[in-house]
Amino acid sequence: MSVSPSLVEVAGLTVRFGGLVALDGVDVVVAEGETVGVIGPNGSGKTTFFNALTGLLVPAAGEIVFLGRRLAGLEAHAIARLGIARTFQASRLCLALSVFDNILIGMHAGRRTGVVDFVVRRGRFLGEMRTAIERVSHLLALFNGDLPRRGFERVGQLPQIDRRRVEICRALAAEPKLLLLDEPSAGMNPEETAELMRDLQIVREEMPGLSVVIIEHDMFVIEGVSQRVVAFNYGRKIAEGSFAEIAGHEEVREAYLGKEAARA
Amino acid sequence: MSRDLALVWLAEAAVFTLVVAGILAERPWALGATGAAIVAAGALVRFVPRLGTTLAGAFARRRPAALGAGVVLALALPLALRSSPYWTFVATLALLYVTIGQGLNLQIGTAGVINLAGAAFAGLGGYSVGLLTVAAGWPSWLAVLVGPWVAVAVGTILFVPILKTRGHYLALVTIAFVFIFNILMNNLEFTGGPQGIKNIPTLRLLGHAFTTKPVLAGVELPSHANFYYAALVMAGLTTWVLRRLHDSWLGLALNTLRDDEIAARCCGVSITRGKLLAFSIGNFFIGLGGAFYAVMVGFVSPPDFDFGYSLVMLSVIIIGGVDSIPGVVLGACLLVPLPERFRFLHEYRLLLYGVVIVVMLLYRPQGLWPAQVRRYR
């Protein structure tokens, strides 16, 4: 479908929780610079898919190849350092820490100073931090020009939409090659969702080479941002294609609406 | 701007005067007057509009000057307390708790690794000094430098529970560790059993024995002033190092894994490395405090390092402010001398600490000097 080389190749990915098969032989390929939407009813395995990709879960079978490298056996932090960043459905920010700190941690893996610099050669560490904070401010300003000024406030003082932005900035700060967004519009009203779509557009323009996989329930978001859609149900991939193809796909309609309604 | 300077120095001088007066006042009326003055000063700052914020602003703008004056006053304290060797000793003890508290705060406050075995790690430092000097004949200063490493090394025994358990369960494991340590010290022959190790030689630096009375600016001070100044350097260095570690990639990573392990892992933070680093660095400074204690009092025995002292260390952190570097200093300087001042409290010391912890957690969980956001300046 795509001519650009593939960034991630997932083949036969299977995750079991005891007797429950949460993911059942899923194959997904994401090309460089592509945005893939993932849809499916609750419990269909979308978040489990992300958790397996990021190393939070150990798959029972199947293979994930990222940049030509098999991820099997790697811990979550090692996978993150290879260039996979994500956000979470329920916000996972550290509310007691500052806005800057919450995003700076995304750059932790790329730090160039160590304990000796922290304590003795303090200037080197502070110099690195100054550059890092400038970059973080630049990222924040892409979404909301007010946010850089609030960088040293605790993140708990920000409204919901800005917290979501901070979380996206944290993921982007790592300069990932693959960004996983787990239902970014969760808990947002229509206006906020519209703002979110604008934010995602900004990410697209700012980082054209970045591949994005986005889980969403809001079909307007999916239609607006994704070039390709993958549909899950009961842990299996039931369809894949353009938004129009998926929207007309019978099994997808059944999964969402039930057999009767889908036929009507 | 010079108004700021005057305010800062005035406030520091007032605190110093009140503290010294509070310590030295012996007659009931003098003690009552000092107490009333302390309450009045507190009420003044609390209730006079803008006084609190004015002072805070002045301190923020004049940080180096405030710090410098603080150092001068800390250096002058033994002069003010020279009539009382006992209080010089208590002040030194408070400084040891600053050192220990900074180490423990890195574990509990910054990394969320609940370690209630502080007494055991201080004990490991202390007993190492005892064994190295008395049994092996090492010079005291060398033993004090090596003792902390023993605490770090023995701490590796707890690496598995540190990584596999968290919260209350980790707390229980570390409590068990203190009791194991105490039972071993009571029963092992080479550690002297219940008698412990006596006659630990005192420190000797450049030919100056710490048992001789130092003369400062023509004034003869009690011999404990030697230890006071050494402990002041140690606590100052420890606080300086921990401040810088806290305001760094390390502190940030530890804070993140404390608040949300999953988010931290997905940002490339190794939980294993972070927790073990925090635990080991923390144990080093806890062991250092214990090692210094051993050469200061000249003996170590099991009751010097029982579980109660773990609670004292924990209260220091909770009073001052969890994860707050200046909070630890404040907590130690409040909590160690208070029961010494009011001897009737002394027997109920642990009760006092327990009440203080409960009250703080209920009404001011962030502590008296809450942790501030990192500024990277």
Can you give the CATH number for the domain in which B236 is found?
1.10.3470
For the beta carbon of residue A135, count every other beta carbon within 10 angstroms. 17
Encoded tokens for A93? 């920010």
| 8 Å CB contact of A101 and B263 | no
pLDDT bucket at A237, cuts 50 / 70 / 90: very high
The ipTM, to two decimals, is 0.92
- Does B353 share its domain with B262? yes
Residue B20, domain member (yes or no):
yes
Q: CB contacts < 8 Å between A and B, how many?
A: 102
Instruction: Specify the pLDDT at position A2.
Output: 44
Q: Left, alpha or beta for A197 (phi > 0: left; psi -120 to 50: alpha)? A: alpha
**Residue B273, H or E segment:** helix B271-297
Domain's final residue, options B21, B45, B80: B80
Encoded tokens for B165? 């358990």
B350 vs B333: which has the higher pLDDT: B333
| 8 Å CB contact of B376 and A133 | yes
Q: What average pLDDT does the segment B306-321 reach?
A: 93
Rounded Cα distance, B83 and B43, in Å: 31
Residue B368, domain member (yes or no):
no
Q: Which domains does chain A have, with CATH numbers?
A: 1-83+176-264 (3.40.50.300), 95-175 (no CATH)
**Mean confidence (pLDDT) of chain B:** 92
- Does B335 share its domain with B246? yes
Candidate from A92, A96, A115 with C-beta closest to B250? A115
Q: Which of A105, A113, A158 to mutate to test the interface with B (most CBs of B within 10 A)?
A: A105
Burial class (CB in 10 A: 0-12, 13-18, 19+), A173: buried
pLDDT bucket at A1, cuts 50 / 70 / 90: very low
- Does B252 share its domain with B212? yes
Residue numbers in B near A87 (CB within 8 A):
none
pLDDT bucket at A75, cuts 50 / 70 / 90: very high
Residue B376, domain member (yes or no):
no
Residue B139, domain member (yes or no):
yes
Rounded Cα distance, A151 and A218, in Å: 30
Encoded tokens for B27? 């007659």
Q: What average pLDDT does the segment A16-43 reach?
A: 93
| 8 Å CB contact of B266 and A97 | no
- Helix spans in A105-249 (H): 115-119, 122-143, 160-173, 190-206, 219-225, 243-248
| 8 Å CB contact of A118 and B249 | yes
| 8 Å CB contact of A56 and B255 | no
Domain's final residue, options B60, B80, B100: B80
Residue numbers in B near A122 (CB within 8 A):
244
B263 inside 8 A of chain A by CB? yes
- Does B101 share its domain with B29? no
- Does B22 share its domain with B118? no
Taking each helix axis as running N to C, give the angle between helix B249-259 and helix B224-246, from 0 to 180 degrees, rounded to the nearest 10: 70
Nearest CA in chain B to A99: B373
Instruction: Specify the pLDDT at position A263.
Output: 66
Candidate from B270, B375, B376 with C-beta closest to A77? B270
Rounded Cα distance, B210 and B197, in Å: 19
Rounded Cα distance, A132 and A149, in Å: 15
Residue B369, domain member (yes or no):
no
CA distance B291 to chain A (A): 23
Q: Write the DSSP symbol of residue A92.
A: -
Q: What average pLDDT does the segment B269-296 reach?
A: 97
HSE value, Cβ hemisphere, 13 Å, CA-based, for B357: 14
Residue B132, domain member (yes or no):
yes
Nearest CA in chain A to B366: A96
Q: Which of A47, A53, A94 to mutate to test the interface with B (most CBs of B within 10 A)?
A: A94
A65-79, B21-35, B323-337: lowest mean pLDDT where? B21-35
- Does B52 share its domain with B103? no
Candidate from A118, A119, A170 with C-beta closest to B267? A170
Percent of chain A with pLDDT over 90: 81
A95-99, A143-147, B128-132: lowest mean pLDDT where? A143-147
Residue B124, domain member (yes or no):
yes
Q: Which of B238, B259, B267 to mutate to test the interface with A (most CBs of A within 10 A)?
A: B267
Q: What average pLDDT does the segment B199-203 reach?
A: 90
B181 vs A2: which has the higher pLDDT: B181
**Domain count across chain B:** 2
Q: For residue B283, give its domain range.
A: 85-363
CA distance B324 to chain A (A): 13
| 8 Å CB contact of B252 and A174 | no
Domain's final residue, options B59, B80, B101: B80
A115 inside 8 A of chain B by CB? yes
Instruction: Specify the pLDDT at position B70.
Output: 93
pLDDT bucket at B46, cuts 50 / 70 / 90: confident
| 8 Å CB contact of B253 and A105 | yes
Residues 271-290 of chain B with CB under 8 A from chain A are 271
| 8 Å CB contact of B249 and A76 | no
- Of these ranges, A240-249, B215-224, B284-293, the one predicted with the greatest mean pLDDT is B284-293
Residues 219-258 of chain B with CB under 8 A from chain A are 241, 244-245, 247-250, 252-253, 255-256
- Does B27 share its domain with B116? no
pLDDT bucket at B25, cuts 50 / 70 / 90: confident
Percent of chain B with pLDDT over 90: 68
**Mean confidence (pLDDT) of chain A:** 92
- Does B285 share its domain with B259? yes
- Does B177 share its domain with B190? yes
- Does B53 share its domain with B102? no
pTM: 0.93
Nearest CA in chain B to A133: B376
Dihedral of CA atoms B239, B245, B294, B80 in degrees, nearest 10, equals 0
A103-107, A145-149, A154-158, A257-261: lowest mean pLDDT where? A257-261
- Does B181 share its domain with B314? yes
Residue numbers in A near B102 (CB within 8 A):
none
Q: What is the pLDDT of residues B138-191, one digit of tens each?
A: 999 999 999 999 999 999 999 988 899 888 899 999 999 999 999 999 999 999
- Does B12 share its domain with B127? no
Output the CA–CA distances (angstroms, integers) from residue B371 to A100, B246, B281, B361, in the order listed. 16, 11, 20, 15
Percent of chain B with pLDDT over 70: 100
Residue B375, domain member (yes or no):
no
pLDDT bucket at A262, cuts 50 / 70 / 90: low
Residue numbers in B near A77 (CB within 8 A):
264-271
Are A62 and A45 within 8 A, CB to CB? Answer: no
